[in-house]
Structures are given as C-alpha cells and as structure tokens.
Amino acid sequence: MKKVGLTGGIGSGKSTVAKMFEDLNVPVYYADDRAKWLMVNSVELKEIIQNEFGTESYIDGKLNRAYLAAKVFTNRTELDKLNSLVHPAVRKDFDKWMENQNSPYVIQENPLIFENENEDHFDVVISVIADEEIRIERVMSRDGHSRGDVVNRIKNQTSDQTRKSKSDFIIQNIDFNDTRSQVLKIHKKLLA
C-alpha cells in the first residue's frame, strides 16, 4: 500500500482536494484533525504540552487554543517546538490507522509535511497550491481571521516554490472543475 502525503499552505484547498480523493474511495487521514483530537485526548501528549508551554495550555482539561495560537503563530521557534511534540503522536496514530485500511494507496492530508521534514515518510507527496491573495481571502472568509493573522501564518509555512521543488505532483487549486480533473489524473497514475 502506497503512503501518499497531501500538503499545501493555509487556504490552498488541501481539504477540498482530500474530499475529491475520498470521492474516488481513497482512504484519507486528516493529520490536523487527528492532531487536535490527540492534543485533547492523549494524556501523555497533554502532559508534554503543559510542561513545555505552561498549565495555561489547558483550561478545565480543554485545550486553550487561543493561548497556544498566540504563542506559536507569531514565533517560528515556538511553532517548531509544538510541532516536534505533536508530530510523533500523529505519526504513531497514522501508522495504526493504516493497518486498518485496504486500498492500493492511502492519503495523509497534512499541512506540515515539509515543515516537519517528513516527506521521506511518504512514497509520494502531492502539494496543493494557489495564489497567495486567493489563499488570504479564503481563510479570512472561512475562519474570520484578520488579514494580518493570515499573512503571519503564511509566512510561517513552507513557500509554494519549495513545495513545488519537493513534490511528486502539484495541484493548482483555482478552478473547482480543473482541480477535480487534476485529482483524477493523479489518481490514475497512483493506481498504475
């Protein structure tokens, strides 16, 4: 079974592309969602985060997202530290999930493949890209973040230029129908 990494910057449309692969009956593991789940439900991971970022990281046993976001999205060192704590837990969870799949290939949708230098964990890496202005508009309308917040997050992520140089496939996600066509072509190649 091939392990395919699907990545892209914030607002690029990774989740949209992942859903398109799911429509083709490809199992998709959403690393961001699982990371958030593990940060709330893994006793071991919660302890590690509190030790590194303080007890304010959790309020009444619930993850204090605003507190952590304020710490990590304006400081690359802190973001790298958080990723280094969460990443091993996600990798372990993904490997366990993979054992229960029966498909020629599976996809891990993960915005941080290159940031975590995790590309070697995959047989194939697909990057979803879109113009920065489109990404900013998507995130502002989707999440209600200010333009400045979105720009800061983009600055803390791998550039599309680097993604292009390190990926096996690139999906330019501007037009929905064109994107679906690109997904279908890649799907056929992955099945070959």
Cα(108)–Cα(96) distance, integer angstroms: 13
Distance CA 179, CA 82 (A): 32
Model confidence pLDDT, tens digit, residues 125-178? 999 999 999 999 999 999 888 999 899 888 878 899 999 999 999 999 999 999
Residue 61: pLDDT band (50, 70, 90) is: confident
CATH of domain 1-27+105-192: 3.40.50.300
Domain-by-domain residue ranges, the chain? 1-27+105-192, 33-100
**What are the structure tokens assigned to 113, written together?**
């493949």
- Cβ neighbours around 185 below 10 Å, total: 11
Q: Can you name the CATH fold of 33-100?
A: Rossmann fold (3.40.50)
CA 97 – CA 35 distance, rounded (Å): 13
- Give the count of alpha carbons within 13 A of 183, CB side only: 25
User: How large is the average pLDDT for residues 92-117?
Assistant: 93
Residue 109: which of 186, 20, 24 has the closest Cα?
20
**Model confidence at 73: pLDDT above 80:** no
Q: Do domains 1-27+105-192 and 33-100 have the same CATH topology?
A: yes
